[in-house]
Amino acid sequence: MIDQRKKICLIYNYAQHYRLGVFKLMDKHLDCDFYFGDKMGDVKKLDYNELHGFKGELKNVPLFSNFYWQSGAISLFFKNYSNYIILGEYYCLSTWLILFLSIFSSKKVYLWTHGWYGKESFIIKIIKKIFFSMGTGIFLYGEYAKKLMIKEGFSSSKLHVIYNSLNYEEQIVIRKKLIKSDVYLNHFGNKAPILIFIGRLTKVKKLHYILEAQKKLKDQNIPLNLVIIGDGEEREFLNSKVSEYDLKDCVWFVGQLYDENAIANYIFNADLCVSPGNVGLTAMHTLMYGTPVITHNNFALQMPEFEALEIGKTGDFFEHENVNSLTDKIYQWFQKDVSREEIRKNCYQVIDEKFNPEFQVSKIKSVVYEN
């Protein structure tokens, strides 16, 4: 039985559908109540009925620039909770007040955050140092951020790497049923290697780089097919590039897709995911179903999930903003003397060992309940 003195209050900016896996496991194994912000652009919201511990929705009130206030969050600090896990966004001003109040209390506040990127300006460094120093502990997405924060003077004992995850419990069931299919042969009518991208089609993803690389390789008589799953502001621009580069017969815009079985089939039967901008959860999704990832090598501008990529085993890195380098890396990948099945197993392994909700919750549990 969990000690009631260890009861947890989780305060998050929004109930993103892709975080259902870790939230459900926290709901199952931790004595945790959940409070979520009410909006976050057009990101799909998870069904609150999935969480027995869901207690309420907070109103995210925009203030200035990216700063906002979570109405209702401060009152939670005066409820019967001993431990708080809060999304560690320094531009959420209500979180600052909760951290300040915790200084005069025995309550513990853990921040769940990216932490350090390595691109922080002098002013942002000062802000972050003050903000994170007020937390009892910090749950980080990766070792890269932890190393940077130790260099900035943070104690390693305060920094806990829990990585990231998607809905692993659902995905592992789907993965076990996956088989090779003719989904791409039927669509493209050829057996050329399949590049894939899944995610929102935004400028920061620099997806036109893939099309440029594909065109360069096509001009060298190296045909590749590209599958893009997702939608967003760049769709029209990318379509224009496909026409400009005469790639209509070898680019497939699948569109926005939430059917996980269909997504798994597309990823499993592809050969290589290419994410020219920051890779983020795209890496989690494609590695889960056995497809490696190529992304850029400027880690200060990356998302923490780049750490799941091991050169030659689960992916590779090209020189940041260098299309020629990306083109070379794609070409070199298909010259490797490694079987597709071996690569698939490498991808499974990194997800199964670290980037899953079980790992995250076990780490959170050990920190909160054993301290």
pLDDT at 371 over 80: no
3-class DSSP assignment, residue 174:
helix
Q: Is the pLDDT of residue 353 over 90?
A: yes
Confidence of residue 370 (pLDDT cuts 50, 70, 90): confident
pLDDT > 90 fraction of the chain, expressed in percent and rounded: 92
Residue 6: its pLDDT value, please? 74
Residue 360 has pLDDT above 60, yes or no: yes
DSSP H helices, 176-207, are 183-188
pLDDT by residue (tens digit) across 133-149? 999 999 999 999 999 99
What domains, with CATH codes, occur in the chain?
Answer: 4-165+356-370 (3.40.50.2000), 171-353 (3.40.50.2000)
pTM of the model: 0.89
Contact 96, 81 (CB under 8 A): no
Q: Is 236 left (phi over 0), alpha (psi -120 to 50) or beta?
A: alpha
* pLDDT on residue 5: 56
pLDDT by residue (tens digit) across 255-304?
999 899 999 999 999 999 999 999 988 999 999 999 999 999 999 999 99
Phi-psi region for residue 147, left (φ > 0), alpha (ψ -120 to 50) or beta?
A: alpha
The tens digit of pLDDT for each residue in 214-247 reads: 999 999 999 999 999 999 999 999 999 999 999 9
Is the pLDDT at 2 greater than 80? The verdict is no
Which residues contact residue 75 at a Cβ distance below 8 angstroms, ignoring those fewer than 6 apart?
none
pLDDT, tens digit (0-9, with 9 covering 90-100), for 42-86: 788 999 999 999 999 999 999 998 999 999 999 999 999 999 999
Q: What is the pLDDT of residue 283?
A: 94
Distances (CA, A) of 186 to 178, 191, 252, 334: 18, 10, 12, 22
171 contacts: CB under 8 Å, gap ≥ 6: 21, 260, 264, 288, 289
Residue 1 has a pLDDT of: 43
